[in-house]
Amino acid sequence: MRVARLHGRRDIRLHDEAVPTAAPGELLLRVRAVGICGSDLHWYDEGGIGGACLSRPLVLGHEFVGVVGESRRVIADPAVPCGACELCLAGQSNLCPSVRFAGHGEDDGALREQMAWPERCLHPLPSDLGDADATLLEPLGVAIHAVDLGHVHPGASVAVLGCGPIGLLAMQVSRAAGCCRVIATESAARPWRVAAGAKYADAVVEADGGRECAAVRVGLGGLGADVVVETAGENESIEAAIQIARPGGRVVLVGIPASDRVSFSAATARRKGLTIAMARRMKPVYGRALELVRTGRVNLAGIVTHRFPLDQCEEAMRVAAARAGMKVVVEP
């Protein structure tokens, strides 16, 4: 079978390898679609992420849909927590210190034709949800977790910084949670993302080095947002989140910065009494994600803009790294 492995920064090579054997408790999948995530791009651009570095040729890809047997389509949870530690037993399996994660560290991901994955991490897909769109269920799970951390409630105001896939999904999940107003920000250099954000936000304000913060606060009634969801992972955006949040508000940091250190105005955050939450992947929320899609409260259509075969994986990564569209999907 064909496998795409990352050998170094911006160095992906195709290999012919043996079909893996499923271990006890695992099932063999034929991989149908893999979404390229921002964390994959950190591996591709930098050769690592958040302290984890490339130690061997790694198969990326954790947003994946596959087929078990003849026709059973499934979406995979890329995280395999131990299920027995204190954090797992407390309902915080996303923080499990022994978690395995597809396409990270020693665990190969889904940019290959076949793979084995634990059966307990596989969830059936409805027939009316296509493979490419179904890869968005994992980013939707991240958005659900971020909105949960923000304690978005009926009548709340929400600012979403960044109109990429997770930003678009966070807007929709916030609406489903009952928020009354959503303002988004995005760079004018990406008009396609501004247009996408305008479908789900009451207004999209141009991100402009922090100069947009006053306009966003005004758009949210003057004091600012009850909840700010930051998805860009850039220092300017993180500082903007602090400036946009209202006193007593909550800031949820979802974006992963290139540097392991970020900074913001501690005085502003302290004076406002802000709660700052760091989003770590997601909890077991696929049931909620599928229900939001089934009932039409979240629309996945149109977020996937580019699709590539496995032998064009390098080009898929380049397109995704250039932010040339929205979600890029590889179809092995």
Token couple for 14: 């195709």
Q: Checking phi first, is residue 100 left (phi over 0); if not, alpha (psi -120 to 50) or beta? A: beta
Q: How large is the average pLDDT for residues 286-300?
A: 97
CA-CA distances (angstroms) from residue 159 to 84, 109, 137, 187, 252?
37, 33, 22, 15, 10
DSSP E strand boundaries for the chain: 2-8, 11-16, 26-35, 48-49, 52-53, 63-68, 72-76, 79-80, 100-101, 114-118, 122-124, 157-161, 181-186, 203-206, 225-230, 245-253, 275-278, 304-309, 327-331
pLDDT exceeds 90 at position 123: yes
Q: How large is the average pLDDT for residues 76-91?
A: 97
Alpha carbon distance 40, 175 (integer Å) = 28
pLDDT exceeds 90 at position 260: no
Q: What b/e sequence results for 91-104 when a residue is b if at least 16 CB atoms lie within 10 Å of its CB, and e otherwise?
A: eebbbbeebbbbbb
Alpha carbon distance 82, 103 (integer Å) = 17
For CATH 3.90.180.10, the residue range(s) in the chain are: 2-136+300-331
Half-sphere exposure at residue 16, Cβ-oriented, CA atoms within 13 angstroms:
0
| Burial (CB count within 10 angstroms: exposed 0-12, middle 13-18, buried 19+), residue 264 | buried
Q: How large is the average pLDDT for residues 136-142?
A: 98
- Please state, rounded to an integer, the average pLDDT across all residues of the chain: 95
153-179 pLDDT per residue, tens: 999 999 999 999 999 999 999 999 999
Residue 178 and residue 156 in contact, taking contact as beta carbons nearer than 8 Å? yes
Token couple for 28: 């063999």
pLDDT value of position 52: 84
Pairing of the two strands 72-76 and 122-124: antiparallel
Position 221, amino acid: G
pLDDT value of position 259: 81
CA-CA distances (angstroms) from residue 249 to 124, 139, 219, 270, 271?
37, 24, 16, 11, 11
Q: Which of 176, 183, 143, 172 is nearest to 283 (CA)?
A: 143
Q: How large is the average pLDDT for residues 108-133?
A: 97
pLDDT exceeds 90 at position 257: no
Cα angle at 324 between 319 and 328, to 5 degrees? 55
Residue 132 and residue 31 in contact, taking contact as beta carbons nearer than 8 Å? no
Alpha carbon distance 217, 66 (integer Å) = 44
Which helix (H) or strand (E) covers residue 297, if one does? none
Alpha carbon distance 191, 195 (integer Å) = 6
Residue 219 and residue 213 in contact, taking contact as beta carbons nearer than 8 Å? no
Alpha carbon distance 159, 203 (integer Å) = 10
CATH of domain 140-278: 3.40.50.720
Name residue, tokens 């996937």: 304
Q: At how many degrees (to 10) do helices 286-294 and 165-176 cross?
A: 80
Percent of the chain with pLDDT over 90: 89
Whether domain 2-136+300-331 has CATH 3.90.180.10: the reply is yes
For CATH 3.40.50.720, the residue range(s) in the chain are: 140-278
Alpha carbon distance 14, 47 (integer Å) = 17
Q: What b/e sequence results for 155-170 when a residue is b if at least 16 CB atoms lie within 10 Å of its CB, and e otherwise?
A: ebbbbbbbbbbbbbbb
pLDDT band at residue 35 under the 50/70/90 scheme: very high
Q: What b/e sequence results for 313-325 when a residue is b if at least 16 CB atoms lie within 10 Å of its CB, and e otherwise?
A: bbebbebbbebeb
189-226 pLDDT per residue, tens: 999 999 999 999 999 999 988 899 999 999 998 899 99
